[in-house]
Chains A and B, each alone.
Chain A
Amino acid sequence: MKDTEGYVTADGRQIGGVLMEMRDITLKFGGVVAINDISFDIREGEIRAIIGPNGAGKSSMLNIISGFYTPSVGEVWYKGSKRPPMKPYEVARQGVARTFQNIALFEGMTVLDNVMTGRLTHMHAGVFSQALWWGKARDEEMENREKVEKVIDFLEIQAIRKTPVGRLPYGLKKRVELARALAAEPSILLLDEPMAGMNVEEKEDMSRFILDVNDEFGTTIALIEHDMGVVMDLSDRVVVMDYGKKIGDGTPDEVRNNQDVIDAYLGVPH
């Protein structure tokens, strides 16, 4: 597959060229090699899963993509050019939104305010016009409110708009976190175990939302997930990691039949 060429998925969706590419990424923490020379790409419009046993380095990979970690070796390419070292907030402003494995919300703020922070990447009015509630700042606030209300409707959390996030149950928090990321209208959405700790019904809801987001807005999604069933249902292509190495990459079917992957998941000793 060429970088600029797309492909058609099993369910007939057209996937575009390469949006994000990880080239020869290695990440070390002192003596620990969390990621060992991994390359893969994420294409426009696809749902790309990263799977692997605990400690495989999945979250670390997501942290590199979102700028929270800087790789020891390797390059990140985004929208066709090599990305210089960047702070997380700069990456966010380039259209990369994310959620966290251990939910990172603003607990003291309402659901609405949390989702509104998702619009910060689209802020143009200066501090002073905001302080004085001047023309441009005011228009922007209105526009942000409209977009945020749409996201809130989309994820069906209207009923809790004014509730402080700290009071919500776990499953809803996960959904609010997704809402905040979506409000940024990202080019790529990174989800670190969006369904961890959920019951079956909540998982079904979340799966549906992820598919709908991809379908309605064409958002490219990279997600980490442990539940194999979910991964196979949702994703177009899967990267499999184990002990920091990439041991498989392909469609769910290809990956499922890959002997290394089967071994890793059955816990065959290395």
Chain B
Amino acid sequence: MLADIFINPFVDMFAAPDFLMQVLWEGLVSGILYALIALGFVLIFRSSRIFNFAQGIMVVFAALTLVGLHAYGVPAWISVALTLGVMFVLALTIERVVLRPLVGQPDIILFMATIGITLFLIGFGETIFGGENKVMISSELGIPTGDTVMEPFGGLLILQHLDITVVIVATLLVLALLAFLNYTQMGRAIRALGDDHQAALSVGISLQTIWVLVWFIAGIIALVTGIAWGARAGVSFALEVIAYKALPVLMLGGLESITGAIVGGLMIGMLEKLFEIYWGQPLLGGNTETWFAFVLALIVLLFRPQGLFGEKIIERV
């Protein structure tokens, strides 16, 4: 029994390194999407102290809008542009109708407001686009199908072209976001607001502008993850679950850390796959991916309450 836990899995990994690579690759594909979603959470949390419960439904809503517009005969790429427009209007509306009137309320009220946004988007999405499952317009968007087979260590490694595309696009988006945050004035304003509200106001940062901006960024992230996940699993309200995968990432990475979101996302994506294949399936009958990340995060929190990368808690005046 102890050998099954502490020895055999590693023996298996060394015996078939090609398979290990396959497992890690698949973990990476999910991981980068978790990282993206977590980044959306972190940006909103840092600039408004709001834990955005609606992030998951925004993924569904973006994917539904995209597929729905296309179903009305709008060309694929124009649908993408229009969906971005819709996400922007959504960000504007949320700021104006929900956030602005609630400014200064306790955090829990704002959290509840995002539950309200979630319920609204579920109802609104169903009314306009219908609740039944849809197919992502992958080929219309030029997302390649098929796969590339490689033979590392004389073994076999299969890379789905869809997965390769997802990893490339998501990586580019993460890098673009980092560049935006670090090298533009608006990006500095977003980070500044996360560090100190008073100081941010004193240098002329408008809360409202930043809020619209971070919610729009969350909307862009929602669309990209919606396309990526939708292309694998279809477009339905079940897509929401990908956002719940961001929760353990946030517990691990810290709610305020941009680095934490990215590293945490990749770590969880890969570790949960590794655990499932080498421990979960042989020992626990599989299906560990639904809970593994949470348990891992809880264990980490026992030792580091601020998360792995949690930034120092800054007192607010």
| Chain A residues engaging chain B, CB cutoff 8 angstroms | 66, 68, 87-89, 92-93, 97-98, 100, 102, 104-109, 113, 116-121, 123, 125, 127, 130-131, 133, 137, 140-141, 144, 166, 180-181, 184
B185 touches A107 (CB 8 A): no
Chain B, residues 275-317, CB within 8 Å of chain A (1/0): the string is 0000000000000000000000000000000000001101001
Question: Is A117 in contact with B201, judged by CB distance below 8 angstroms?
Answer: no
List residues of chain B with CB within 8 A of the CB of A100. 198-199, 202
Q: Judge whether B185 and A123 touch: CB under 8 Å.
A: yes
B191 within 8 Å of A (CB atoms) = yes
Q: Are A130 and B185 in contact (CB under 8 A)?
A: yes
Q: How far is the CB of B225 from chain A (nearest CB, A)?
A: 19
Q: List 21 A-B contacts (CB under 8 A).
A: A87-B206, A88-B201, A92-B201, A93-B204, A98-B202, A100-B199, A106-B199, A107-B196, A107-B312, A109-B191, A116-B188, A117-B200, A117-B203, A117-B205, A120-B205, A127-B213, A130-B184, A130-B185, A130-B186, A133-B183, A181-B202
* Bound: A133/B109 CA distance, A: 37
Number of interface residues of B (CB under 8 A): 29
Q: Given the interface contacts A68-B198, A109-B191, does A184 sit within 8 Å of B204 by beta carbon?
A: yes
CA distance A180 to B207 in the complex (A): 19
Interface presence of B124 (CB below 8 A): no
Name the prevailing secondary structure of the A interface residues.
helix
A120 in contact with B317 (CB, 8 Å): no
- Measured between beta carbons, the chain A residues less than 8 angstroms from B191 are 106, 108-109, 113
Minimum C-beta distance from B233 to chain A (A): 30
CB nearest neighbor in A for B207: A89
Decide: A89 and B206 in contact? CB cutoff 8 A.
yes
Q: Is the interface of B mostly helix, strand, loop or mixed?
A: helix
* Closest Cβ neighbor of B187 among chain A residues: A130
Q: A89-B201, A105-B196 are in contact. List 7 more A-B contacts (CB 8 A).
A: A89-B204, A89-B206, A97-B203, A106-B196, A108-B191, A133-B183, A137-B185
Would A120 and B198 be within 8 Å (CB), given that A89-B206, A184-B203 are in contact? no
B203: chain A residues at CB < 8 Å are: 92, 97, 117-118, 120-121, 180, 184
Bound Cα distance from A141 to B182, whole angstroms: 12
Q: Given known contacts A92-B204, A127-B213, is B184 in contact with A107 (CB within 8 Å)?
A: no
Inter-subunit contact B184/A109 (CB<8 Å)? no
Q: Does B180 contact A (CB under 8 A)?
A: yes
Q: Indicate if the CB atoms of A166 and B317 lie closer than 8 Å.
A: no
The answer to whether A108 touches B195, judged by C-beta atoms less than 8 angstroms apart, is yes
Assembly CA distance A130 to B189 (angstroms): 12
- Residue in A closest to B184 when the chains form the complex, CB atoms: A130
**B 101-151 contacts with A by CB, 8 A:** none
Choose from A92, A109, A133, A140 the contact partner of B195 (Cβ within 8 Å).
Answer: A109
Do the beta carbons of B205 and A109 come within 8 Å of each other?
no
Which listed residue (B180, B189, B213) contacts A120, Cβ 8 A?
B189
Q: Is B192 an interface residue (CB 8 A)?
A: yes
Shortest Cβ distance from residue B51 to the other chain A in the assembled complex, whole angstroms: 20
In the complex, what residues of B have CB within 8 A of residue A184's CB?
A: 203-204
Task: Say yes or no: A106-B195 contact (C-beta < 8 A), given A88-B202, A89-B204, A120-B204.
Answer: yes
Residues of A near B206 (CB, < 8 A) are 87, 89
Query: Which single member of B184, B200, B201, B207 contacts A131 (CB below 8 Å)?
Result: B184
* B314 A107 Cβ-Cβ under 8 A: yes
**Given A87-B201, A89-B206, A166-B312, are A116 and B185 neighbors across the interface (CB < 8 Å)?**
yes
B180 CB contacts on chain A under 8 angstroms: 130-131
Q: Which 8 A-B pairs have the closest CB atoms?
A: A104-B199, A92-B204, A106-B195, A121-B204, A88-B201, A130-B184, A106-B192, A117-B203
What is the CA–CA distance of A97 and B206 in the complex, to the nearest angstrom?
A: 15
Counting chain A CB atoms within 10 Å of each CB, the highest count among B189, B200, B201, B204 belongs to B204
B183 contact set on A, CB distance < 8 A: 133, 141
Measured CA separation A196–B51 after assembly (Å): 37
Nearest B residue to A133, CB-CB: B184
- Would you give the shortest CB distance from B316 to chain A, in whole angstroms? 10
In angstroms, Cα B198 to Cα A184, docked, is: 16
Residues of A within 8 A of B198 (CB): 68, 100, 104
A243 to B238, CA, bound (A): 62
Interface residue ranges of B181-229 to A (CB < 8 Å): 182-189, 191-192, 194-196, 198-207, 213
